[in-house]
Structures are given as structure tokens and as C-alpha cells.
Structure 1
Amino acid sequence: MPVANTENLNIVALDHMPSPEEIKARVPLTEKAAEAVLAGRRALNNILDRKDNRIFVVVGPCSIHDPVAGVDYARRLKALADEVSETMLLVMRVYFEKPRTSTGWKGYINDPYMDDSFRIDEGMEKARRFLMDVNEIGLPAGTEALDPIAPQYYGDLISWTAIGARTSESQTHREMSSGLSTPVGFKNATDGDLEVAINAIVSASHPHSFLGINGKGQSAILRTRGNRYGHVVLRGGGGRPNYDTVSISLAEQALAKAKLPQNIVVDCSHANSWKKPDLQPLVMKDVIHQIREGNRSVVGLMIESFIEPGNQSIPADLSQLKYGCSVTDACVGWDDTADMIRKAHAVLSEALQRRSRAE
């Protein structure tokens, strides 16, 4: 009597996925892109080590869905980055994966054609190609690490990584972060709990061994040395923001208690602005004011920004998509983004000199 089948009972297909080596062969790392990646990582490490007194700002669309508009945005951001380079390091937010509470578009890698065809094989190559374009423009790129296999495909093009509020508590993501080549920002939990992020930083700073894949796409045991550049990202939660002076002071105390560097990044979006893009400039203004008044722990900011303000639903007829407008969370438009950053630059010019002398 044959043995009953007990596996893959809910799997309808196992489609071929190109290996990381195959995707990299199609979109090979160029010397110019490699220089941008390494320069971005070096600058970020120096900021976190307090060897560079600038602030880094991870700024860009909530998610990438149109590479043409994305590159358009990157070119604008590069010009602005050069303009404010004495006070800020601008890192383009390049998010391909969107965690979902229930359902919704999962991002450019998962469904690049936004038609539920789920051509992940093509989405991964397109994502790598887009990152190459951003880095060749001369901008470092930051992203959220969601799928633990994805960094093998494009991690060589990333300068900064975020672990989201839903995954900071995940052992898988803490282990993965311990082996990433970038600094990693861990967000506080959606209920506002900071301990989750603190524990994640501690965990990721230690070596781990876990299952993954190698460049050929084969199963492998990944053994890491630990990542010492973990830091906290305050994004609000539990029905309240947490970028105010009291919240930041409490975060400083929690980091000190855990014997961690007091490096804090403030996300101007999400719960800190009640997901209302017009409040993001007020959050940034408040945090910059804290730096002007002597704060020494805030090293970075995050802004959700695109060419056009607001957001839009994905229409059945994709030709009806509004150019340069988010299809996920609402963003501030380009004009407001440039205004926010220029105003911060004017304030920081003097404030950072005082911070440097104090340190």
C-alpha cells in the first residue's frame, strides 16, 4: 500500500527562480555603482561612530512602482544632496517589499506588473537594475529587508537597511541583520514598544548561524560575525508619536541601560505623523529644533516623499496611473521635500558645529 502524501498539500506550483549569480550576471555591479555604495556605507558608519557630525536622511517614495519616475526622483534628489552635503547625507529610500497586515500589493519584486501575475523572477532583476541606476547617479540607497533571501540578490547595491516595525521582533530578521553589510535601523513595534528594537540591536550585534542560500541558489548554512551598526528608528505607535523630547530622552536612557550607542533615527512618517504627509514637515522641524537646542543622540531622519504629493489606488487600467504619485502610503511632494531639507540645512549649519565641539 503506497504511503500517503503529506507535503505540499497547499502548493499549486514550484516555478523556477534564477539564482543570485544568474541575476547578477544579467545586471553586473559596475565600478561607478560600487563606489557609490561603499562611499554611502562609509559615511553612514562615520555618522554612527560620531566621526562625521552630519545627519543622514533616508528620503524617497513609500514604495517603488514606476522605475522611470523613480529615476526622475533620484536625479532631483542627487542635485539636492550636493546642495546640502555639508550638513546632511541624503540616502534614497528604495523600498521594493511591502509588509501587509492582511492583503494588498506586496511590492515591485513580488508583482512588478501590478496585475497579480507575481513574476518574482522578473521583479528581482528589475529591482536590481533600478538600484544600479540609483547608485550610478551617485546616490546611496536604503531599503527595508523583508524577505531573508532577497539580500543575496541585491544586497551589494544597498548602503542602509531598515527592519520594519512588524519584523523587528522576528528572530529570522535579527539573524539576517547580523550578516548584512550595511548599518541597520530597527523600528520600534507598531504598539510603540521600544524594547523590541533594543533587543534586536543586541541580538544582531552577535554572531549567528542559520539557513539561507548561497550565490548559486543552493541551501547553505550562513555564519555571521555580527553587525555593530544597529540603531533605533522611532516611528511612533500605540496611538501616539514618539519624536518629542521626552520620548527621545527615554530612548536615550533605554539605549544607555542596554550599553548601546545612543544613536537614534526619527521616522517623520507613519505613526509620528498619523500617516498624514502634510504633518511630516512639522515632525522634521521639531526634531531639527531639538538638535539646535543641544540634542546629541539624533543622527538621522526618514521622510516618505515622491514627485507628487499624496497617494493613489492602483487602477485596473494602469495607463491611468498618475506619474510620480505613491501607490502605497501618502507622501509629501517634491517641492515640500526640497523645502523641508533646505530649511533643515540652514538650521543645522550652525547647530552641528556646536554638537561637534560638545563631543
Structure 2
Amino acid sequence: MTSTLSAQVPSDLSVAASSENLNVTGFQPLVTPRTLKSELPITPKAHETVARSRQAIKNILDGTDARLLVIIGPCSIHDEAQALEYAGRLMRLRHEYQSRMEIVMRVYPDKPRTTVGWRGYLNDPGMNGQNDFNLGLHKTRELMLKLNELGMPVATELLDPFVPQYIDDQLAWGAIGARTTESQTHRAMVSGVSAPVGFKNGTGGSVKLAVDAILSARKPHTFLGITDEGQAAVVSTRGNAYGHIILRGGTSGPNYSAEHVEAASEMLRAAKLDPAIIVDASHHNSGYLHQRQLDGWHDVIGQRVAGNTALRGLMVESNLVEGKQSIPADLSELKYGVSVTDACVGWDTTAEMLAWGYEQLG
């Protein structure tokens, strides 16, 4: 007797041809990492910038360099000219304050979204929904190369596990965001990244997620990735010894107070990790109000001056002009120097913050 279930299964074998890629609308060949790197090879000056800043950051995280790591710049990159103008201004302050700060520019071309929205310069460089990844990869690497040639080290968030193959040689520092710190894929990816990488606490505020991520990324991993030739491959890593925590607040509010920092430090010590903490003055630590980044900036530097050596760095979202704007249908209506994602402090405030911090750290 034939069961009801088996009777419902079509006997036509052609059903196999229609059981996959049902929601896929197309495939586009992707430029290989080797091709992109051959078109935009790293220069001696850029290599020197990357190597020197990476080592400085490692020394800060190790506690052998007493300077403060400052990762500062736009919430997201959407225009090369504006990014280069910002970098030119920041370079002057990087030189002026280098005795007490290692200033690195935020260059975030790939943006996570809570639901939907513009995914960033790397994914959609035209800001028109065409999602030209090949162009985005080219423009992202080109911008990072120009910045490193200026002598401005680059910091970015790593979202797509394939992307490090295209830009790893350009990075002084990397971050894993609150949404992906718990991801095993990203923890394994970080184990092979050449630069120090910070893990943010979870969106709910859990610091243990970041501690677990650091422990995981320190170990060797084997995972699926791509080679420089763009071939799918099994990637094996040795582990990244320079993972660290980024406190960015959570749904219950900020977490940069002395009590929060001590709790995070104790959690790191319990895991047999050196307390090395960076505070993100934005996101939940500012309640997404850009001017409140100053509260975190002043508080953390005050803690440093009072002797809290676990605090190794600060992050700030800053742009040429304060605030944020929506992306208009007519891109000619975009305001120059204003963020298209999270609101940022403007340049005058940025310069004042850095000058005040330098003075306090003396």
C-alpha cells in the first residue's frame, strides 16, 4: 500500500533541477585578490606605514608603549575625496600628538545593518543599489593604499570573511562588531588576520562574548575561504595573539565607567588574558547622540590619568561636518562632509577633543 507521503512525491526526476537556487537571481564573477593586488600593489611607503603602526598598536596592547591608541574617523566612508581631505587634516594632528597618542583613521567601507539599508562603499560604491562589488573592492583598496602612502594608518571593521584577502596588507588594526563577535566564522577569520583585532561586547552588553572571542581567535583554526587566486580553499591559521576587548555599551546603557572597566578587566584576568581594553565612545556608550561621545572621551582619559592602565585606547566617530544625513535619490543633493550612517562629531570638535586629550595625558 502506498503511503500518503510517498504518493505526494513527483516521479519526474526533473524536480531535482528545480530544488536549488530558487531565490538566487544571478551570479557575477569576482575579481581575484591577486588580480586586484597586482593592479594596486602595496608600495614601500604604504608598507612602512602599516608595519610601523601595527607594531605600535601591539606595543600599546602589550603595555610596553604607554601612549593611548586613538581610532577616529567617519562612521562610514562614502566619498574618496572627503576621506582624503579628512585624512590630510588628521595627519597634522597625528604628527603633533604622536608622543602621547597613536592616531589611526577609521576607514569603514562595509557596514552591518540591523535590518536593511546602504551596506557601504565596498558593497555599493555608487550608492545606487547596483551593488558593484568588483568596483567597491577596487575603490576600497585604492583608498586604503592612498591613505597609507600619506602615512595615515588604516582601521576597519571586518564583516565579510573573504574581504581580508583583498585588504589585509593595508590594515593596521581591525574590529569585529557587536553583531558578529559571537560568530564562529568571524572568530576563525580573525585567527588568520595579520593585524591586531578588537572584539566589541555584544549588542546586549555582554562582555563575556568578547572574552570568549579573544580566546577562540588566539587558537589555530581551519575554515573555508579563498586563495589569492580566488579559488575556494581550506584555510589553516596559527592564531592571532592580539585580540582585545572594545567596550561599546549595550541595551542597558554605557559601560565605560571605572566600575565597568574593572569588571571587564577582572573577566580578562580570570581568562588568563592581559587586561587590554578600548572604549568606543559612540554607539550605546553615547546613546547614538554624537555629542555625547565627549562624555566617554573625557571620562576614559580621566581614568587613564588616574592610573588605570587597562584602558589602552578610545574610538570616536568623527567627520568633516557634524551630524548625519539620509541618502537622497539625487546624489548631487548630498551635503559635503556629513555622515550618511551614524551621526559624527564635526572637525572643530574633533580637534578640540584631541588637543584636550593630549594635554591631559602629559
TM range (shorter): over 0.9
**How does 1:128-207 map onto structure 2 within 5 Å?**
128-207=141-220
Partner of 1:237: 250
Partner of 1:260: 273
Instruction: Give the SS at the match of 1:316.
Output: coil
Partner of 1:354: none
Q: Using the alignment, how far apart are the partners of 2:313 and 2:130 within structure 1?
A: 37
Partner of 1:276: 289
48-57 or 85-94: which moved more?
Answer: 48-57
Q: Deviation of residue 2 (structure 1)?
A: 4.0
Instruction: Give the SS at the match of 2:288.
Output: coil
**How does 1:89-128 map onto structure 2 within 5 Å?**
89-128=102-141
The percentage of counterpart residues that share the same residue type is 50
Q: Using the alignment, how far apart are the partners of 1:134 and 1:118 within structure 2?
A: 24
Instruction: Give the SS at the match of 1:118.
Output: coil
Q: Using the alignment, how far apart are the partners of 2:229 and 2:170 within structure 1?
A: 18
Instruction: Give the SS at the match of 2:155.
Output: strand
Code of the residue aligned with 2:288 in structure 1: it is: K
Cα offsets for 1:169-212 (capped at 9, x unmatched) = 00000000000001010000000011100000000000000000
Cα offsets for 1:249-273 (capped at 9, x unmatched) = 1001100111101000000000001
Q: Using the alignment, how far apart are the partners of 1:215 and 1:96 within structure 2?
A: 21
Q: Deviation of residue 293 (structure 1)?
A: 1.1
Question: What 5-or-longer segments of structure 1 have no aligned partner?
Answer: 350-359
Cα offsets for 1:289-328 (capped at 9, x unmatched) = 1111111100000000000000000001101111111000
Partner of 2:233: 220
Instruction: Give the SS at the match of 2:175.
Output: strand
Q: Using the alignment, how far apart are the partners of 2:189 and 2:157 within structure 1?
A: 12
Partner of 2:9: none
| Bigger radius of gyration among the two | 2
Runs of 4 or more off by more than 6 Å in structure 1? none
Q: Deviation of residue 239 (structure 1)?
A: 2.5
Aligned residues: 349
1:19 maps to 2:24:
no
Instruction: Give the SS at the match of 1:165.
Output: coil
Question: What 5-or-longer segments of structure 2 have no aligned partner?
Answer: 1-11
Q: Using the alignment, how far apart are the partners of 2:241 and 2:130 within structure 1?
A: 39
> 1:311 aligned to 317, 324, 338, which one?
324
Q: Using the alignment, how far apart are the partners of 1:40 and 1:8 within structure 2?
A: 44
Instruction: Give the SS at the match of 2:191.
Output: helix
Partner of 2:224: 211
Code of the residue aligned with 2:323 in structure 1: it is: G
Instruction: Give the SS at the match of 1:51.
Output: coil
Q: Using the alignment, how far apart are the partners of 2:262 and 2:42 within structure 1?
A: 42
Q: Using the alignment, how far apart are the partners of 1:14 and 1:129 within structure 2?
A: 25
Q: Using the alignment, how far apart are the partners of 1:69 and 1:263 within structure 2?
A: 32
Q: Using the alignment, how far apart are the partners of 1:291 and 1:18 within structure 2?
A: 45
Code of the residue aligned with 2:275 in structure 1: it is: Q
Code of the residue aligned with 2:115 in structure 1: it is: S
Alignment TM-score, normalising by the size of structure 1: 0.96
Partner of 1:347: 360
Q: Using the alignment, how far apart are the partners of 1:241 and 1:173 within structure 2?
A: 25
Q: Deviation of residue 89 (structure 1)?
A: 0.3
**How does 1:71-90 map onto structure 2 within 5 Å?**
71-90=84-103
Instruction: Give the SS at the match of 2:234.
Output: strand
Code of the residue aligned with 1:65 in structure 2: it is: H
Alignment TM-score, normalising by the size of structure 2: 0.95
Q: Using the alignment, how far apart are the partners of 2:206 and 2:284 within structure 1?
A: 13
Partner of 2:7: none
Partner of 2:6: none
Q: Using the alignment, how far apart are the partners of 2:335 and 2:39 within structure 1?
A: 31
Instruction: Give the SS at the match of 1:222.
Output: strand
**How does 1:29-108 map onto structure 2 within 5 Å?**
29-108=42-121
Q: Deviation of residue 226 (structure 1)?
A: 0.5
Partner of 1:291: 304
Partner of 2:4: none
